[in-house]
Amino acid sequence: MKFQAEETPYFGLGPDLILNAIDQVGWQTTGKLVPLNSFENRVYQVGVYDEHREYDVVAKFYRPGRWSQNQLIEEHQFTFDLTEFELPVIAPLRVNEVSIFEVENFKFSIFKKVGGRAPNLEDQSVLSWIGRLIGRIHAVSVTKPFKHRPAISTGQFGRAPADFILSNDLIPNELRDAYQGLVELAITTIDSAFMEIHDAQLIRLLGDCHTGNILWMDDGPSFVDLDDAVMGPAIQDLWMLLSGDREAMEAQLRVVVSGYEQFMDFDYRQVSLIEPLRTLRIINYAGWLAQRWNDPAFKVAFPWFGSQRYWEEHIGHIREQVGLMQEGFSI
């Protein structure tokens, strides 16, 4: 592909540096180091020990240049705010009140290792349970805003990734006009949807609340990975729980909202943002892959990206979403 994405971001982050970094902040490592399935950041399961036992922790090395120190502090403080109310969010571990460490310009944090499985969202009791927890989370979220982390917008999550794709000539010439026209139509439609409820409250969000970031255990779910925490409308943390056809998703949403409303008022106008938010995610996802393409992990994980077929299907998805946004969503 003829474009220049970011430079290889994790050059120099080898096993010795990782283990030495963890030793230096207070854990004694055994030498065990297992890479976990992560692309945006580098995440490892690390063996550590003390005078009583050996156990594992999770070390997360943040992508250089993505978040500022203040933005990372806000993410961590959000998790601490939630755990103070006994909400099941996996917060970073602290050493002398510090949770963000640094080694050779790599910022990293340490987390308790937790197990679990993906929740069964076909079970209505599970959907309701998760809805109640998100309602409780949002009741804490509204108490203060993020000052440094971004808010969901078509500029950052729609136009910027689309502009990157177009300016780097990723799309075959015969598809370029179709992509550009559909993206412009989609973003205009999304902007109109947000303007219709311009006074909707924006709150601190988990941001990427899908089944991959929810671990289900015998005592219920835990939420992990708040790396995408942003400001935005509450519905952003609900719509990714939905699947199937329109009728199925509307039924699922009724169950989620019934649980949510036990702890937090729900603005039903935000239902109209589900398809616009989904469309924004689709556009942003392609730009995210493009901007990360010099990272070797992405080329291994997404070998199909950039092919003629990929762009044909991507344009088809955007076209479908334009239609779905015009149809609307209701419960």
Q: Which of 233, 231, 70 is nearest to 145 (CA)?
A: 231
Which residues 6+ apart lie within 8 Å of 6 measured at CB? 65, 291, 292, 294, 295
Given the structure tokens 């979403």, which residue do they identify? 321
Which residues are marked as active site?
Answer: 208, 225
Distances (CA, A) of 193 to 3, 129, 209, 267: 33, 29, 22, 15
Length reported for the chain: 331
At 295, give phi and psi (nearest 5°): -80, 115
Which segments of 154-240 does DSSP mark as H helices, in order? 154, 160-167, 173-196
**Contacts (Cβ under 8 Å, ≥6 apart) of 61:** 10, 13, 18, 41, 42, 43, 44, 106, 107, 108
